[in-house]
Amino acid sequence: MSLEFRQARYPRHLLMEEHAEERDVKDNPLPDNIARKEAPRIPDVPEYEVARHFTRLSQMNYGVDTGFYPLGSCTMKYNPKFTEMLGKESKATELHPYQPEEGIQGSLQIMYELQKMLAEIGGMAQVTLQPAAGAQGEMTGLMIVHQYHMNNGNERNEVILPDTSHGTNPASAAMLGYKTVEIPSKDGCVDLKALEQAVGEKTAAFMLTNPNTLGLFEEDVKEVADIVHEAGGLLYYDGANLNAIMGKTNPGAMNFDIMHFNLHKTFSTPHGGGGPGAGPVGVTEELRSYLPVPIVEKNHDKYYFDHSLENSIGRVKGFYGNWLVLLKTYAYIKFKGKDGLTEAAERAVLNSNYLRKLLEEHLELPYKSLRKHEFVLSGKKLKDKGLRTMDLAKRLLDHGYHAPTIYFPLIVDEALMIEPTETERKETLDGFAEAFINILNEDPEIVKNAPHNTTVRRVDETKAAKKPILSYSMREK
């Protein structure tokens, strides 16, 4: 970068601290109370040092591009670089939110076709692309539940959930004012008797993910649906685990009424650190008119936003939703095709069971044995050595692996939730298992104080959550 170029973009007095006093504070149009009293401290450094700095920072991070990432429930699969390029450099990034429909026919076509593809994958009649994440999909779905019961003159104020459910499920229900009723599991799956006892006139919906968070397929799902429907409730499918079943079966076939997709999980998109994501919601024909508006429709050859849904709950997200995530999903599905998606599900299940076999005799595996795309071990036995699951997870970092999800689901003591995804090769799974088993044979003191080789050692997570430091100052020590 030449100096001229740099000066052209940044006034020199903003770049160099020693010239700070040249900045004329009096000319500043901002009110005194919010204007800076001193110039910001911005170091004057050559380009190569900036490059080194950011490259070094990027190397301190761990992601799917650096290694195996078996974070259960999150489906941290490989993100093809061509879809990343689409989301970064294609013309689609220049779309303006207020562009007239005639000018965005191509983008509308992609949204329309994506709605159709997702509807087919989920076995649903219609899909909205608006929600920005799975959790917002849950909220959208439960707003539909609420509106539906209101229209039918029913005052139903309870949402039932199994004790294996993901935290966002009860949180979404509570946010909408529902009372949440948790039912215990039996052998890791929904206990039909407990469900029968829990349902009634107050039941608005039952929320379930299948396979569930233990990686177990809920084989009685149709009986579950019958029990909920007979009580007048609706059945909501949390789609976070769709990766295990896509192309094989679908929530529609299991008699679910509403579902969300976690596009960033099932159809890839890097989603560390909380974003970006998309959580489209699908519904049966009976609930179609309740979806948020607009949905994308087609009339002859013209695509348009349809605002005419009669019972719509209204808009839940501005403009086109998380458009670039939608675009990446569209490209990913087109690239994979039906066979490719089915194969991804098969391989995800195969990888999970292969890894389970390698590990199950070294730690405890609660519940029945055959798993779908993920499995949950219990680190209970570690306590004999004065260790906890957390210690094992931290030590994995030293061995070059991202830790699995720990302490979820809540019904497993010292849980370790491992999801290898379809992406990984046998060699990677073998390497992970070897590191895992080695750690179990290491000196507990080493494990207890791990990680030793990472940039940041073990952090005080309680303190970090309670007293987060959200800004960085060079002056602070």
Ligand X SMILES: *Cc1c(COP(=O)(O)O)cnc(C)c1O
Give the binding site for ligand X (CB under 6 A). 73, 133-135, 166, 168, 209, 213, 238, 240, 262, 277, 279
Residue 381 and residue 465: Cα distance in Å, rounded?
Answer: 28
CB of 167 to ligand X, least distance (A): 8
The distance of closest approach from Cβ of residue 166 to ligand X in the complex, given in angstroms and rounded to an integer, is 3
In the complex, what is the shortest distance from the CB of residue 417 to ligand X, in angstroms, rounded to a whole number? 10
Residue whose tokens read 């060079």: 474
Complex with ligand X: residue 213 or 312, whichever CB lies closer: 213
CA 323 to chain centre: 16
C-beta of residue 135 within 8 angstroms of C-beta of residue 171: yes
Residue number with CB closer to ligand X (183 or 382): 183
Nearer to ligand X, 135 or 295 (CB): 135
For residue 145, give the nearest of 290, 14, 352 by alpha carbon: 290
Greatest distance between any 2 Cα atoms in the chain: 77
Q: Which is nearer to ligand X, 371 or 395 (CB)?
A: 371
Q: How far is the CB of 124 from ligand X (least distance, A)?
A: 18
Which pair of tokens denotes residue 90?
């294609």
- For residue 181, list its beta bridge partners: 160
Q: What is the CA radius of gyration of the chain?
A: 25
**Burial class of residue 466 in the structure, from the number of CB atoms within 10 Å of its CB (0-12 exposed, 13-18 middle, 19+ buried):** exposed
3-state secondary structure of 3: helix
The closest of 225, 219, 213, 234 to 290, measured between CA atoms, is 234
If the CB atoms of residues 168 and 353 are measured against ligand X, the closer one turns out to be: 168
Residue 247 beta carbon to ligand X: minimum distance, rounded to whole angstroms: 20
Residue least distant from ligand X (Cβ): 134
Question: In the beta sheet, which residues pair with residue 235?
Answer: 206
Q: Least distance from C-beta 264 to ligand X, angstroms?
A: 6
Q: 277 vs 292, which CB is nearer to ligand X? A: 277
Using the minimum distance from each CB to ligand X, give the nearer residue, 326 or 382: 326
Counting other chains too, the contacts that 24-32 makes at CB distance below 8 Å and 24 or more residues apart are none
Closest distance to ligand X from the beta carbon of 238 (Å): 5
Burial class (CB in 10 A: 0-12, 13-18, 19+), 249: middle
